[in-house]
Structure 1
């Protein structure tokens, strides 16, 4: 199972958020290009493909191994790696620290993300590679991360965080004033967020200048940031949410996408007009042709409202309208508007623990659990119950299959009979996959398609092997504005099996 973090609309529902939010990672990253489209998928152990580093175990090598394992392992794709290495060599020579060495790693994650460590290890996810549309766009992302390293942003941020924590601890413990300590901590968080926002904008500015100096189109940065914004807007629309007002969130560690686009455009215009520098769309698309798109089947796959795990051999279907996201720790889903939510994961129970005892043990704080009742999805041993809290009601289920116990946590602000029936149908849909079904499952991949005369976003979206909102996903994948015309003969990215 594999997922970017899902934040619920009501921040006061702390037990629910603790259950359904994916874990964060406390590493001193120099930057993050995702702008909240997704944070990296977190892995608890290194997959089979993760690299093993021999020799002296330095902090830098440990950070690298941890990051690679937490983001699904290293994704090897020769043609993309060669392209990234060529881009990196040009950017390094044009950067403020041409003596700094860099190592680029592609991460096996569908999240749209990029970051760098202070030692020059730079990471891009295959999800980000799929979203970019030409060489100057991916160069812009990498130039942004190079700017974080050359400006020592991670070191400066870590020092500010250390000082803020020290001040709040002294006020709370030495002066014996917890309230003042909390106030000092809040002030420190505000300063830290503002500092990080300033770092992002500075890295954007440095990155655009480096991009142009290396011979790439400096407008590639604004184009990619625009695609990032459209990706985020599409996701909000799928969830039935209003567009986020990040510019009003003073604790946001990234400036809002419109702000970044505007500043990146201004920086590019200060260098020259459109058409300056290389974009090389054809070379870039050829380099990512065939790259895996979306979930890795080894970690389970989302197909619309259905989740399939060919390796573990099971599937289930979420209630209608749910948008599912997959992570190493759980499958999480939201209904449009956020009034209903789902979490599915697995646990291993001690041999002497019954399902009834486990179901009544209190998965969620501050709720009243009803007596469990039996259920038998496809003949498996299972129990379900209802747990009621002040703001949310939960339909819980535990299903034993082999050595594992699979958990459903379905939450609703108002558990009407119809909503509960949908929850129960989702739980009852859990079943084992047949050998034939497992053999038929194929990963999705990016493919190139040439537009024909008369093609529209709808006809191009019809070629996508994605059951939900294929047109919107086609537009986001190709960086197209709403109502954009399709050019006959132009090459576009689609998703196929």
Structure 2
């Protein structure tokens, strides 16, 4: 094949792809309910609603619904009030408060809106919470999820035609890069449009739209605090990817779109008495169902157990496992729980699991439970490594422990820590049951002389209590309570 022939065929193929894409665009245009202009979408409103309903059910298999019917009704009432002022007031919006400490809010197509108890803990007025909800309702009314999916589909169609029919190596990669760049930029515009719509809906519902800027300030303060923690712990700061994460500091475009909503100004609501009543008692951090961490110990009330980890190790309480690591992450302990399905000893369980010789194996007996531990060769995040493993039985369940080092030669260095954690697994003592209960928010009224230093000294928070209280009250990094002001403390 000559170079000229090849280039001619490639040109024709690309043209075919573009014509196919343009045909879909002509078929897939629909009127945007917000702007009244034509948008490129590949699904009807009924299909959009069906997608939201389907993924709502899937999402509830991952997240628990927060068990507080009064709070759920309160959020639903706010959503209903805001949504009836929106461009799609014919939709029935469904709201859910999710039982997770994650700081986030999001929406699914068709009118499904979610807010976590984690982000609610940091709100300090009904208007701030309404700002979060209004932003998510804006995504739904402008059909952002549908429009983004449609753009992804057309990118994929053109990619497959160019890459498949022309047989050009790397064509798919190039088109994906272009599509990703398009959608990421598109996402930024979506966020600003959701801000504009949220601000409009807030003003029409009786809330000051400038409260949205306060929410962004609260989330930026959390990023600032995490940078402080990261420096102390010798790690990289965690990137926040939740609501409002695309906004830079002092975002002038955001301020412009929010201030434009002042033309809808009504008598803005100032009374937050009901809001503070609703968040009084809100769970902060991990719930009892997930287990709680106090200093270097993990407590789980329902399972009735406690586990001690090495001092100064970082403990991550994940939905399906516990992870503990050194500051440098060169040693890691993972503990998970599963059902026992055979009548066997802990040693037999490990032999069934690994199908290899158990090196330096020995039976163990913690204060409460029988177990077995050994060294095996296993695939780990660090590669193939000698790994300390253990099985500790509790009734008809087994705690599986995997402990590994980044450098194969460091196992002896950390093995004492590994064995100490394994042998620490035991049942809760009566005096420890209260330690397994979740921490909650309590609303107090600030008195003359109250400072966050004083409040921190009375707090059960054991690390950076002063900074955490300021974050909870929207007064980070150096604000102080004003006498008579409602203040959140932790109990």
SS in 2 for 1:122: strand
Q: Distance in 1 between matches of 2:180 and 2:404?
A: 31
Aligned to 1:467: 462
Count of residue pairs brought into register by the alignment? 429
Residue 146 of structure 1: how far off its partner (Å): 0.5
Residue 135 of structure 1: how far off its partner (Å): 0.8
- Greater radius of gyration (CA): 2
Tell me: CA distance 1:472–1:355, structure 2 relative to 1, closer, same or farther (3 Å): farther
Residue 318 of structure 1: how far off its partner (Å): 2.5
Q: Distance in 2 between matches of 1:115 and 1:252?
A: 8
Asked if 1:373 is matched to 2:347, the reply is no
Aligned to 1:185: 176
Tell me: CA distance 1:122–1:348, structure 2 relative to 1, closer, same or farther (3 Å): same
Residue 143 of structure 1: how far off its partner (Å): 0.5
Between stretches 201-210 and 125-134, larger displacement belongs to 201-210
Output one character per residue of 1:7-61: Cα deviation in whole Å (capped at 9) or x when no partner: xxxxxxxxxxxxxxxxxxxxxxxxxxxxxxxxxxxxxxxxxxxxxxxxxx96654
Which runs of no fewer than 5 residues in structure 2 stay unpaired?
1-48
SS in 2 for 1:69: coil
Asked if 1:118 is matched to 2:109, the reply is yes
Residue 456 of structure 1: how far off its partner (Å): 2.0
SS in 2 for 1:397: strand
Residue 438 of structure 1: how far off its partner (Å): 4.1
Q: Distance in 2 between matches of 1:411 and 1:262?
A: 48
Q: Distance in 1 between matches of 2:83 and 2:95?
A: 12
Aligned to 2:78: 87
Q: Distance in 2 between matches of 1:476 and 1:331?
A: 26
Aligned to 2:351: 357
Counterpart among 445, 450, 456 of residue 445 in structure 2: 450
Q: Distance in 1 between matches of 2:293 and 2:153?
A: 40
Instruction: Within 5 Å, give how 1:171-210 maps onto structure 2.
Output: 173-176=164-167, 179-210=170-201
Instruction: Within 5 Å, give how 1:31-42 maps onto structure 2.
Output: none
Aligned residues of 2:392 and 2:400 also touching (Cα < 8 A) = no
Tell me: CA distance 1:253–1:488, structure 2 relative to 1, closer, same or farther (3 Å): closer
Between stretches 160-169 and 285-294, larger displacement belongs to 160-169
Aligned residues of 1:340 and 1:413 also touching (Cα < 8 A) = yes
Output one character per residue of 1:258-303: Cα deviation in whole Å (capped at 9) or x when no partner: 3485543343344559998335343321221112222221232222
Residue 451 of structure 1: how far off its partner (Å): 2.4
Residue 492 of structure 1: how far off its partner (Å): 0.8
Root mean square deviation of aligned Cα: 3.6
Aligned residues of 1:84 and 1:104 also touching (Cα < 8 A) = yes
Asked if 1:328 is matched to 2:319, the reply is yes
Aligned to 1:71: 63
Output one character per residue of 1:62-101: Cα deviation in whole Å (capped at 9) or x when no partner: 43333233211343241x3443244223312332223322
Tell me: CA distance 1:283–1:115, structure 2 relative to 1, closer, same or farther (3 Å): same
Aligned residues of 1:226 and 1:257 also touching (Cα < 8 A) = no
Asked if 1:399 is matched to 2:399, the reply is no
Asked if 1:145 is matched to 2:107, the reply is no
Aligned residues of 1:359 and 1:372 also touching (Cα < 8 A) = no
Tell me: CA distance 1:217–1:336, structure 2 relative to 1, closer, same or farther (3 Å): farther
Aligned residues of 2:333 and 2:418 also touching (Cα < 8 A) = no
Q: Distance in 1 between matches of 2:222 and 2:243?
A: 19
Q: Distance in 1 between matches of 2:94 and 2:467?
A: 34
Residue 151 of structure 1: how far off its partner (Å): 0.5
Tell me: CA distance 1:136–1:424, structure 2 relative to 1, closer, same or farther (3 Å): same
Aligned to 1:494: 489
Q: Distance in 2 between matches of 1:386 and 1:197?
A: 49
Aligned residues of 2:310 and 2:417 also touching (Cα < 8 A) = yes
SS in 1 for 2:437: coil
Aligned to 2:304: 313
Q: Distance in 2 between matches of 1:122 and 1:184?
A: 33
Aligned to 1:382: 372
